Amino acid sequence: MNPIVIIGAGPVGLIAALRLSQLGVRTIVLEKNKTPQSELRASTFHPPTIEMLDELGIADELISIGLKTKHWQFRVHETGERALFDLGHISTDTRYPFRLQAEQKELCRIATKKAEADNNIDLRMGHHLNDFAQNKERVKADVSSESQADYTISTPIMVAADGGSSKIRSIMGLDFLGLTYPETTILVATKFPFHEHTEGLSNVNYVWSNWGTFSLLRLPNVWRCSLYPDVEETIDEAIKPESIINKLKRIIPNQTDFKLLEIRPYKIHQRILDKYDYGRVVFAGDAAHLNSPSGGMGMNGGIHDAWNLSDKICGIVKDNYPLSRLSLYSRQRQKIAQDEILKNTDKNRSRMQNRDKKSRAKELIRLQNIASTPDEARKFLLRSSMIEGLKKTEQIT
């Protein structure tokens, strides 16, 4: 049988290829860029994702360059009051009771290296899917690359892991239902050591302040801060280094030396396909669903899609299950994305965008009560660590 074709060598395409290889299924992965991803994107790996990476033999390398984060918090900037969540409460639920703070680009680097050394994976960097057509037997994909003449490949199943602006989705004319949130988030990377200037900071902090909201996420050698334009500011004004430094000075007064490494504005979408399988074409990751980064579930959820989908594809290719296994994948993962990922990240975003002091204070007390009650904390952390979603997936038939 011809190899499975995967479009996109982001985290989702790469993990699908590695998992399929482990299950004995050959793939061709087409990535339009010539080099692995290098942008500032996901920074948190949740426990079940680390377990999957461990099964693929790539967790140790990522852990060795990341920050094991056992606690994370919601916090009030001016008073330092906080609800501190301790992943020790889920230490019997996972081998990895921590969030790993590491960059998506590091995962892509490690996974690309592993894929390149894998005989079951034909990773073609710099190869662009231009068009495709499917019939009852196969998908035919038209590909171009600078290094050779345009060509067509034939595959029994094509995995669309081609990201948020999926070309496959637009060729098929599929509705990507949902909304774009009104605010623009400004992601700032700086070497400034916030932890040396703020008492009791964790590596992951969601912060309310009198003047708005921000998050502070620590990665090896760098802090990432999510900021928002002031009410009277345009985006162009807000992304100027002077404006960013003024905002950072509100967080840490009397400092001037913030050494800005990167300033990146972006809009946040909450969108999802109403199903993921369309004949022999099947969607995973950002191509299938987009959500607020608040809570760090996008890439993690995409990797969970890749894991589930690989098992279904293996069943079809090796154990003669019917193609309708792809519908089971869709039923399982679309539902979990909708009910767990989109819903929880939307809640996280609303919580942090709330500017009303009284309801913030009430929410902080509620979160503190949860964090300090072991059973409640465990339930909360099973959800925020995406363990609950994976358990619910198994119950969908």
Ligand X SMILES: Cc1cc2nc3c(=O)[nH]c(=O)nc-3n(C[C@H](O)[C@H](O)[C@H](O)COP(=O)(O)OP(=O)(O)OC[C@H]3O[C@@H](n4cnc5c(N)ncnc54)[C@H](O)[C@@H]3O)c2cc1C
The residue ranges that bind ligand X (CB under 6 A) are 7-13, 30-33, 37, 41-44, 104, 128-129, 161-164, 167, 187, 266, 285-287, 293, 296-300, 302
HEC-encoded secondary structure of 59-82: HHHHHHHCEEECEEEEEECCCCCE
CA 115 → CA 102, 277, 370, distances in Å?
A: 20, 25, 42
Distance CA 233, CA 312 (A): 49
**Is residue 232 a contact partner of residue 243, using CB atoms and an 8 Å limit?**
no
Q: Which residues pair with 28 in a beta bridge?
A: 5, 122
Residue closer to ligand X, measured from CB, 131 or 376: 131
Q: Residue 236 corresponds to which tokens in the numbers above?
A: 């162009």
Rg for the chain, CA atoms, rounded: 22
Q: In sequence order, what are the beta bridge partners of 205? A: 73, 216
Beta carbon of residue 55, minimum distance to ligand X (angstroms, whole number): 18
> Do residues 288 and 273 make contact, with C-beta atoms less than 8 angstroms apart?
yes
Torsion 350-292-394-43 (CA) sign: negative
Q: State the DSSP code for 194.
A: G
| Nearest distance from C-beta of residue 302 to ligand X, angstroms | 4
Name the residue nearer to ligand X (CB basis): 7 or 316.
7
* Smallest separation, CB 164 to ligand X (Å): 6
Handedness of CA 8, 316, 142, 150 (dihedral sign): positive
* Lookup: tokens for 372: 């300090």
Q: Between 251 and 306, whose beta carbon lies closer to ligand X? A: 306
In whole angstroms, how close is the CB of 394 to ligand X at the nearest point?
21
Q: Which amino acid is at 298?
A: G
Nearer to ligand X, 298 or 389 (CB): 298
Minimal distance, residue 218 CB to ligand X, in Å: 12
Q: Which residue is nearest to ligand X (CB)?
A: 10
| Residue 19: CB minimum distance to ligand X, A | 13
Residue with smaller CB distance to ligand X, 54 or 81: 54
Cβ nearer to ligand X, comparing 18 with 161: 161
Pick the closer one to ligand X by CB: 297 or 314: 297
Minimum Å distance from CB 284 to ligand X?
Answer: 7
